[in-house]
């Protein structure tokens, strides 16, 4: 069984094809990130316009890469939420049209849930052998940590489509916090990978930024550490709390930036790892998996591997950030487990969809 997955929830136009929920046949991702860099974040109108231009070529290329025609495709999966309204619309309208004209079942996919399903890919077609994939699929009960630019959630799955949301961020998503701290340090968007690079030359213990205490033990917050970064930066250059944040990066030395980046990265990662370890101790899941853009962070991978009592397998970094293969993978499980199909004449977007 082969599912074609379409993803357009943010700034990546993506299409992937997956067989039986485990074998990667193609993964084509075109990002409009460069167009947003000048603005320091994703501009929704620019993202939506880019999707319109890219979507058909990306789908075509994905079919080519998989060496498939439409006759080889058994169903279409598409992200219908969460995400930017204008961006989601392009993917959903394209998928609806294709489902009707190619006469395929249509599956509506939750983007956040799909990030975790990237971990179910254990095999790739010969042309995609550069993907480093886990050897085995995760087992249930499965604890999933979703850490992206839009979401930070801790979820316990008892089986496919049977899960409980344990906790989540009460303000910024972790990736968003990385992006905002990067902006203070004058590092370009997306912030995560740039903080990662800057942190390589810094001391992660130079600053002890605070971790918030939350009423629900599995929830967390990044507003405290983010403000603490701002205050530390102001103090480093000898200015008071009303010094404008956009002028800070010109005055900070490279060493000061590196220390702030390394210390923030350590604390932000520790925050979500603390909660994951706590949830592991309580729920004793058989597998722990991570997904979302921040899942590619080596610091997150290092801390988790160090503190988790069980072995944790990570998927390829190319499957952590937004992609169509994760949508196709979850689509396969929709089909395998007889989940309801979506009406191709009616499927609507759901920008605020949650787990």
- Which residue(s) pair with 19 in the sheet? 2, 23
Would you call 284 exposed, middle or buried from its count of C-beta atoms within 10 A (0-12, 13-18, 19+)?
A: exposed
Which of 62, 110, 148, 259 forms a contact with Zn ion (CB under 5 A)?
A: 148
Of Zn ion, ligand KG4, none, which one sits near residue 347, judging by CB under 5 to 8 A according to partner kind? none
315 binds Zn ion (CB under 5 A): no
Residues 193 to 212 in contact with ligand KG4, rule: CB under 6 A: 193, 196
Q: In what order do the strands lie in the sheet with 106-110?
A: 106-110, 75-81, 2-7, 12-19, 23-31, 123-124
Q: Which is nearer to Zn ion, 189 or 280 (CB)?
A: 189
List 175, 202, 225, 344, residue binding ligand KG4 (CB under 6 A): 175
Extended beta strands in the chain, E state? 2-7, 12-19, 23-31, 75-81, 106-110, 123-124, 142-147, 152-159, 162-168, 287-291
Among 47, 236, 322, 330, binds Zn ion (CB under 5 A): 322
Do 68 and 17 meet the contact criterion of CB atoms below 8 Å apart?
yes
In the list 6, 10, 18, 327, the residue contacting ligand KG4 (rule: CB under 6 A) is 10
Number of residues that bind ligand KG4 (CB under 6 A): 20
Nearest to 60 by CA among 30, 100, 33: 30
Least Å distance, CB 42 to ligand KG4, is 9
- Report the nearest approach of ligand KG4 to the CB of residue 104 (Å): 26
As measured in angstroms, the least distance from the Cβ of 295 to Zn ion is 10
Binder among 86, 225, 292, 324 for ligand KG4 (CB under 6 A): 292
Among candidates 153, 84, 146, 152, which has minimal Cα distance to 117? 146
- Binding residues for ligand KG4, rule: CB under 6 A, are 10, 148-150, 175-176, 178-179, 190-193, 196, 292-294, 296-297, 321-322
């Amino acid at each position: 069984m082969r599912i074609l997955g379409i993803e357009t929830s943010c700034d990546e136009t993506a299409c992937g094809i997956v067989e039986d929920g485990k074998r990667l046949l193609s993964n084509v991702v075109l990002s409009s990130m460069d167009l947003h860099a000048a603005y320091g974040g994703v501009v929704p109108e620019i993202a939506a316009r880019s999707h319109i231009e890219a979507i058909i070529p990306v789908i075509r290329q994905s079919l080519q890469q998989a060496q498939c025609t439409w006759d080889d495709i058994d169903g279409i999966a598409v992200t219908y939420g969460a995400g930017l309204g204008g961006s989601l619309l392009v993917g959903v309208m394209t998928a609806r049209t294709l489902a009707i004209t190619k006469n395929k079942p249509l599956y509506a996919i939750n983007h956040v849930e799909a990030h975790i399903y990237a971990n179910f890919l254990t095999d790739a077609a010969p042309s995609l052998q550069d993907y480093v994939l886990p050897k085995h699929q995760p087992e249930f009960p499965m604890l999933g940590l979703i850490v992206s630019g839009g979401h930070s959630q801790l979820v316990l799955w008892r089986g496919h489509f049977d899960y409980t949301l344990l906790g989540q961020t009460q303000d910024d998503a972790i990736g968003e916090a990385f992006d905002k701290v990067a902006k203070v340090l004058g590092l370009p968007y997306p912030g995560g990978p740039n903080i990662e690079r800057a942190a390589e030359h810094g001391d992660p213990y130079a600053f002890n930024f605070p971790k918030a205490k939350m009423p629900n033990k599995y929830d967390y917050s990044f507003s405290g550490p983010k403000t603490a970064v701002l205050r530390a930066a102001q103090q480093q250059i000898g200015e008071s709390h009303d010094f404008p944040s956009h002028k800070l990066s010109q005055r900070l030395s490279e060493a000061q930036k590196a220390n702030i980046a390394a210390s923030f990265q350590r604390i932000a990662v520790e925050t979500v790892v603390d909660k994951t370890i706590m949830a592991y101790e309580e729920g004793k899941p058989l597998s722990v998996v991570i997904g979302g853009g921040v899942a590619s962070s080596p610091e997150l991978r290092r801390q988790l591997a160090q503190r988790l009592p069980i072995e944790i397998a990570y998927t390829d970094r190319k499957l952590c950030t937004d992609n169509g293969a994760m949508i196709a993978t979850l689509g396969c499980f929709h089909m395998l487990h007889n989940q309801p199909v979506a009406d191709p004449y009616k499927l609507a977007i759901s920008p605020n969809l949650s787990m």
